[in-house]
Amino acid sequence: MKWNELTSIAQLDQIDEESKNGKVMILKHSTRCSISNTALNRLERNWKEGNEAIINPYYLDLLNHRDISNAIAERYKVEHQSPQILVIVNGKCTFSQTHSEIRLEEILEEVN
């Protein structure tokens, strides 16, 4: 699985534009949290080649970029959680999951 790293607030504009032509997934991840690490590992284990044509994955390291996480919460009108998955379509969050709810098969089912 090849993640696009989310490292600046300006990238949210890029994600919004990209989401007009395809679906985008943002993973908000805490590297110090065992639940977050479990969710990340489960996503990566279940990712199959070709899934990037269905949804483009972005990865946010919350510990290094809390400002971006705050901007995500405000922009997409979601309460901050960690770990958290957001699906962005046409500049809006259409689906989110948190903690042990995060399952790639459900995400892919939602976007198909």
Q: State pTM to two decimals.
A: 0.94
Question: Residue 18's Cα: distance from chain center in Å?
Answer: 14
DSSP-derived letter for residue 22 is S
Parse the chain into domains and list their residue ranges: 4-111
CA distance 92 to 41: 26
pLDDT, tens digit, 9 for 90 and up, residues 28-68: 999 999 999 999 999 999 999 999 999 999 999 999 999 99
pLDDT, tens digit, 9 for 90 and up, residues 96-112: 999 989 999 999 998 88
Q: Which CATH class is domain 4-111?
A: alpha beta
pLDDT at res. 1: 87
